[in-house]
């Protein structure tokens, strides 16, 4: 059985609470992953979900993003039940899972054209700028199967620089990144928070972001 603790004590009725959960419960294969889970995620905040392998971190993110309905409890978007705000919620959400979600036969430009166009109109200038910023200048037209694992991760993370989403939900985004990439991603997450957005992230990396709060599973 998992126990849950959080250092985030914001009241769900406070202004600026973007996403909140109350009394979340999830069981898998007759094992309780988490129960009585409460948290608030506010505008301008980065919430890091911590826990050992198998504690339910990825399951929690998938529940919040509507990819897993095997749970009990309440999830609210700006104070209203998420089922009543589904369109607004999903329009404001960018989810990047622990798999990079990159087609290896496509180039970085082609990947971003496809993934970003699902929610917004994008142009090649935006894409080229994002790829340059994540360190992929000169690789824009290279098939992704020729790129390293870290470079493929950067292709996926370039979406953060293009997306207008207010809420980012990221599952282990620092995996395969080198030291420079880690520092750059931390800066991107901090910029999102300082612009009034919010981030929920799982990672074993020790984040050094002033806007950081912690949610512990297990």
| pTM greater than 0.85 (yes/no) | yes
pLDDT for 8 equals 40
Alpha helices (runs of H) in the chain, residue ranges in sequence order:
57-64, 86-91, 108-117, 124-133, 149-157, 179-194
Residues of the chain below pLDDT 50: 1-13
Please give the pLDDT value at position 67: 94
The residues, any chain, with a CB within 8 Å of residue 41's CB and separated by 6 or more, are 8, 17, 18, 19, 20, 47, 167, 198, 200
Q: What's the pLDDT at 9? A: 37
pLDDT at site 59: 95
Can you give the residue ranges of every domain in the chain? 102-163
Paired tokens of 176: 């395969």
Relative orientation angle of helices 149-157 and 179-194, to the nearest 10 degrees: 10
What pLDDT score was predicted for residue 20?
96
The pLDDT of residue 152 is: 94
Measured in residues, the chain has a length of 218
pLDDT score recorded for residue 120: 77
Token look-up 């970003």 returns 116
Closest C-alpha to 63, from 89, 99, 93, 24? 24
């Amino acid at each position: 059985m998992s126990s849950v603790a959080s250092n985030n004590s914001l009241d769900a009725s406070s202004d600026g609470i973007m996403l909140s959960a109350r009394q979340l419960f999830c069981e898998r294969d007759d094992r309780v992953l988490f129960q009585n889970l409460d948290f608030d995620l506010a505008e301008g905040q980065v919430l890091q979900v911590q826990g050992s392998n198998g504690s339910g971190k990825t399951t929690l993110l998938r529940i919040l993003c509507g990819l897993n309905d095997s749970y009990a409890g309440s999830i609210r978007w700006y104070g209203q039940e998420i089922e009543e705000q589904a369109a607004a919620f999903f329009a404001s959400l960018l989810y990047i899972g622990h798999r990079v979600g990159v087609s290896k036969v496509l180039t970085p430009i082609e990947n971003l054209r496809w993934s970003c166009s699902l929610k917004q109109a994008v142009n090649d200038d935006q894409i080229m700028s994002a790829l340059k910023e994540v360190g992929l200048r000169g690789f824009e037209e290279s098939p992704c199967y020729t790129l390293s694992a870290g470079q493929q991760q950067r292709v996926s993370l370039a979406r953060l620089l293009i997306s207008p989403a207010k809420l980012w939900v990221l599952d282990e985004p620092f995996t395969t990144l080198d030291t420079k990439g880690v520092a750059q991603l931390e800066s991107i997450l901090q910029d999102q928070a300082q612009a009034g957005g919010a981030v929920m992230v799982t990672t074993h990396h020790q984040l050094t972001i002033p806007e950081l709060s912690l949610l512990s599973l297990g």
